[in-house]
Structure 1
Amino acid sequence: MKKERVKLTAAEKSELFAEGVITVILLLLLNLSVVILINLTILQNKNLVNGIYFLKRTITFAGGRHLWSWQNTFIIFMGVGDLIVLYWRLIRRYHQMQLRHVISELHYIAKGHFDHTISFKVKTDLQKVIDSINSLVDSTVNAINEEKAIEKSKDELISNVSHDIRTPLTSIIGYLGLLKSGVSDPADQQKYLNIAYMKAEQMKSLAHDLLEYTTLKSTSTKLNLSSLHIFSMLEQVAAGFEFEGQEKGIVFNIEARPKNLTIEADAEKLVRVYNNLITNALKYGTGATQINLIANLVNNNEVELRVENNGAQIPADSLKKIFERFYRVEGSRNTQTGGTGLGLSITKSIVDLHHGKIRCESDQDWTRFIICLPLNLKSEQNPGAAVV
């Protein structure tokens, strides 16, 4: 937005005009007094008068023109001086008015309008003060918005946790109530016990994920860095899901370029990232037949890790929200898939701790989770975590 100069009020314009008129009157009186005093001084000194006439007779210009009289010359100098004084006084008063406007804006901000910025500009050093005030206002607004976002986030977290705990807890109480009331059929008893146990496991999983999520968000979280041979780690991770993959008809493909690629990372946390992404692919990648675990050395400073599956496409409007806590893509909320809605949030938090970035791409053929990590984390400055 283009800033305009200070707009003076009608009263200020009148004040500025009056300042100019008074200054002109005072200068005219001063000039008149000076001329009278000089005239009296010269007339009382005959030698000075004779010297002036002699100087005028001896100094001539082409065409026989003589010098102006000393009165005309002096009046011109006084006129120039008067203009300088008039300009100085008007500019000085105008700057005072600008300062009053700035002070007025500060009082307005101090009354609680912390999102208000000073919209006009000046051509003096006062502009630096205005810029500093606007920067302070912007910082304050950002801090307030962040605080509101944190409070909203806390409220949403409490609401989501309460809902996700209440749902299985209600089921547990209901089925235990049926058992308490006396169910004679052993098959029904076993069925109710199995359901109650499954719901209890869901609550345990939610509590575990929630604890891990809050721990990762803590600024005191430490990374236990070690040198990881990526290909070997991917083989071990894939082996842990081999049985489940066979049941679903899914084949794991592992690739690392170069094959001896190693990075500095927290092994336990990076394995958790892969576990979350593979679990996500197995649960929600409907129709998938392949899961690819790929690691590529991008350059001397960065490595790219990919987890791909050729299952169902993730809707485009869900890609930007997929890493938000408790967010689930439409169609994935059912009792068969389970899940707490925290897995991808935990994944992103771990990647952030490693000073990396994660994104998701999905089309009709492949869904890809792409992670970019620094090759040597020890040389990176990571303000969000302590490295040990």
Structure 2
Amino acid sequence: MDTKSKSTAGKQVIGFLCFVMSFSIFFSVGLLLLEQPVYGDGRFVLSEAFDGDVQSTQRYQSAVASRFQTLMVDAGADGSFENLSFSSINEDQANVIYRISNSESGKTFSNTNVNLFQESVPEGYNYIVDYRNGNVKVTRDGRDITGQFEFWPIYDLYLERYRADSYDSYEYSDGYESFVESYGWQDLELRMAFSEKIVPTESPWSMYTVIQERFWEQAGTFIALGIAAVLLMVYIFLRKAKKAADQRIAWVSGKVWLEVKLILLFISFSIYSGFCWSSYGRRFYKIIALLQFVYYVYVLINDMRYNKGNVFRHNIIRSIMRWYRRREQYKPFQRKLVDRFWLVLGIEAALLVIGMLLFMISLSFSFRSAYYQFVFLVFVVIWIAAAVVCVCVYVKRFRKTVEEMGEVVDQVSVMKAGDMEAKLTLPADSDLYATAQDLNEIQEGFSVALEERMKSERMKIELITNVSHDIKTPLTSIIGYVELLEKEEDLPEHVKDYIKILSKKSQRLKTMVQDIFDVSKASSGEMKLDIEELDLVKLIRQTLADMDEDISGSNLIFKINLPNDPVMIRGDGERLYRVFQNVIKNSLQYSLEGSRVYISLYRDDSWTTVMIKNTSKYELGGLGENITQRFVRGDASRSTEGSGLGLSIAESFTEACGGNFRVTTDADLFTVEIAFPSVR
């Protein structure tokens, strides 16, 4: 540790100690000054040191009582009064005068020439103590104040003894008569008079000692307050260092479990309450007990101030749970749930057994003290709370696990829907954290694969588009020259046949290139649409009419089931015409010769569906929906005409117009479903 760090640490210690000592002094002096005297309890209080009426203080009463007892004891039972000659009270005539006599011996002794039994008390002496016929009477300014001396030696009436059958109560008996007889006081008569103004005398046992003791108490109070004020100023000067010390204390206290803090709080309070309820404890120890409780509460408040919610989170239960979770993190998910169930069941069973034992103890043992009953009740409450907390923690954890399982299931549904961006985030201490990470990695794998596939598709489309564009220019020239050749006359017949073949093939190539452009536009979203309401029945009939020559020339039987009323949908008429044209062409090209082709239209409140069914002349081999992919043909040998783009174009145009295009196969039965939202 360097010099600067040592200096900082030293300031923190000094600042904190100055705060503690100044507060302790102010707090202690304040308590002593606020304490009010209780007549008869025999204790001096600091507040009386600042009481202007000295004769009303218990210290003064104690001095009066002790002098009364001294005179009575020195008088003796023989009535000789020999010891009274040496009494130091005789030298304190300015403050106290007395006269005592023995009726049996007839002797009298006094420290004054005034016959106090027959004459009035001299002026200035207002505090009178009379003992006559076995009775004591104390007056001040003519007012009887005997009751204030109940527990002083002047009025020793009560002897204490324990009752054999009780720890909590006392039985009192009047032993005053036997006490008087044992000392031979039944024949004595005494009158004492105390001066209202106390002055110093040569007597070592002068009443002026009361004034001196009051002075030293006052001086000690002011000195203590002065020291506390100096310490307070030092603390104010070092308050930043004291704040740093508080933070260090909070750091240390933050390492202690909450349950340990509560136990220490209970012990601290028990120490304080034990001294407060004890009738034998000294005031000093009671203040110390109260201060230790106050400072412990201060430490707890300081702990909550800097550690905030961590004060309650750092407890034995959570520590055990963290330890257990570290132990179970390598277990399978199912094993974790089963082990937790049996663990909680075992803990609850143990708590139940111990609770029953405590209950049996409470029935078999009779508590004789309310304190023990209270402590037992606290243990019972803690035990019940432990059982409830254990169940609550388990239920909370189980509920959290169930919710996280729901999140995992929802995430699977999200992935199924094709959303590969939304990630599942679970806490690191979750039972399903590893599962969530696996799902996220699967999503990332899917995303990468999908991106690669889309990239490949884009590259393929771009390649095909570029190649088609490059082909289109020379193809246009070829078609132009073929048309010129067709216009030539006097050509041999076999040359004309060649020209017809060239014309047919070039037109087919032109159609294929155009189809590729259409697919490219539909895939890239660049195709322009003219969406409007149109009659789907009319559109289908028009398509069939335009293709009547091809239909009539085929060996197929078309079964048309269309309603007579218009069926309105929204779409681009030109694009949808191409859709039905391609689907019907597909049926003409790939249907089994002599079979039937069914074209039907169905409508409900939500959708309008056109179904086109035919029997394939080729074995489909489970192509199903794959047949709508580009360049896929039902003729695997590719011995017939066709580009493999017809159904792909139909699907793209249908979806661009807001419809659904679906192909299903059942053995050789080929079905195309084209559905659009109904327009009411």
Taking structure 2 as the reference length, what is the TM-score of the superposition? 0.36
Q: Deviations over 1:289-335 (max 9, x none)?
A: 54333223x3233322122334425525111201112222343523x
SS of residue in 2 equivalent to 1:305:
strand
Q: In the aligned structure 2, how far is the partner of 1:81 from the partner of 1:70?
A: 17
The residue aligned with 2:673 is 370
Q: Deviations over 1:93-146 (max 9, x none)?
A: xx9xx9xxxxxxxxxxxxxxx9985677979xxx9x999999998887765554
The residue aligned with 1:236 is 542
The residue aligned with 2:454 is 150
SS of residue in 2 equivalent to 1:222:
coil
The residue aligned with 1:227 is 534
Q: In the aligned structure 2, how far is the partner of 1:276 from the partner of 1:244?
A: 13
The residue aligned with 2:520 is 214
Q: Deviations over 1:219-259 (max 9, x none)?
A: 565342123161x43332222222223333334443313x1
How much has 1:70 moved relative to structure 2? 1.8
Q: Deviations over 1:194-220 (max 9, x none)?
A: 665555434432331122223334556
Greater Cα shift, 215-224 or 264-273: 215-224
Q: Deviations over 1:4-36 (max 9, x none)?
A: xxxxxxxxxxxxxxx998555554444333222
Structure 1 residue identity aligned to 2:647: L
Please tell me whether the aligned partners of residues 424 and 440 of structure 2 are also in contact (alpha carbons under 8 angstroms). no
Greater Cα shift, 219-228 or 190-199: 190-199
Please tell me whether the aligned partners of residues 591 and 614 of structure 2 are also in contact (alpha carbons under 8 angstroms). yes
Please tell me whether the aligned partners of residues 115 and 138 of structure 1 are also in contact (alpha carbons under 8 angstroms). no
Q: In the aligned structure 2, how far is the partner of 1:223 from the partner of 1:133?
A: 47
The reply to whether residue 351 of structure 1 matches residue 648 of structure 2 is no
How much has 1:280 moved relative to structure 2? 0.9
Please tell me whether the aligned partners of residues 357 and 373 of structure 1 are also in contact (alpha carbons under 8 angstroms). yes
The partner residue of 1:312 within 602, 617, 620 is 617
**1:291-310 equivalent positions in 2, closer than 5 A:** 291-296=597-602, 298-310=603-615
Q: In the aligned structure 2, how far is the partner of 1:314 from the partner of 1:351?
A: 27
Please tell me whether the aligned partners of residues 598 and 612 of structure 2 are also in contact (alpha carbons under 8 angstroms). yes
The residue aligned with 2:267 is 32
Cα pair distance change 1:362/1:130, threshold 3 Å:
closer
Structure 2 gaps of 5+ residues are 1-253, 282-365, 401-420, 482-490
Q: In the aligned structure 2, how far is the partner of 1:138 from the partner of 1:252?
A: 49
The reply to whether residue 73 of structure 1 matches residue 387 of structure 2 is no
Q: In the aligned structure 2, how far is the partner of 1:134 from the partner of 1:330?
A: 43
Q: Deviations over 1:143-171 (max 9, x none)?
A: 55543332232244456668989999999
Structure 2 residue identity aligned to 1:32: I
The residue aligned with 2:552 is 246
The residue aligned with 2:181 is none
Please tell me whether the aligned partners of residues 660 and 675 of structure 2 are also in contact (alpha carbons under 8 angstroms). yes
Q: In the aligned structure 1, how far is the partner of 2:536 from the partner of 2:465?
A: 37
Q: In the aligned structure 1, how far is the partner of 2:524 from the partner of 2:437?
A: 33
The residue aligned with 1:10 is none
Please tell me whether the aligned partners of residues 291 and 308 of structure 1 are also in contact (alpha carbons under 8 angstroms). yes
Structure 2 residue identity aligned to 1:343: G
Q: In the aligned structure 2, how far is the partner of 1:139 from the partner of 1:365?
A: 37
Greater Cα shift, 339-348 or 367-376: 367-376
The partner residue of 2:574 within 260, 268, 272 is 268
* Count of residues in Structure 1 that have an aligned counterpart in Structure 2: 303
Structure 1 residue identity aligned to 2:529: K
RMSD: 5.1
Q: In the aligned structure 1, how far is the partner of 2:615 from the partner of 2:585?
A: 14
Please tell me whether the aligned partners of residues 654 and 660 of structure 2 are also in contact (alpha carbons under 8 angstroms). yes
Q: Deviations over 1:47-78 (max 9, x none)?
A: xxxxxxxxxxxxxxxxxx67643255147538
Structure 2 residue identity aligned to 1:147: E
The reply to whether residue 41 of structure 1 matches residue 276 of structure 2 is yes
Structure 1 gaps of 5+ residues are 1-18, 47-64, 99-113, 177-184, 380-388
Structure 2 residue identity aligned to 1:249: N
SS of residue in 1 equivalent to 2:610:
strand
Q: In the aligned structure 2, how far is the partner of 1:215 from the partner of 1:195?
A: 30
The partner residue of 1:323 within 621, 628, 646 is 628
How much has 1:366 moved relative to structure 2? 4.5
Structure 2 residue identity aligned to 1:227: L
Taking structure 1 as the reference length, what is the TM-score of the superposition? 0.58
> Rg larger in 1 or in 2?
2
Cα pair distance change 1:282/1:163, threshold 3 Å:
farther
Please tell me whether the aligned partners of residues 662 and 673 of structure 2 are also in contact (alpha carbons under 8 angstroms). yes
How much has 1:286 moved relative to structure 2? 4.0
Q: In the aligned structure 1, how far is the partner of 2:383 from the partner of 2:270?
A: 14
Q: In the aligned structure 2, how far is the partner of 1:247 from the partner of 1:117?
A: 60
**1:128-147 equivalent positions in 2, closer than 5 A:** 144=448, 146-147=450-451
Higher RCO (Cα < 8 Å, 6 or more apart): 1
Between the two proteins, what is the percent identity of the paired residues? 17
How much has 1:272 moved relative to structure 2? 1.0
Structure 1 residue identity aligned to 2:652: S
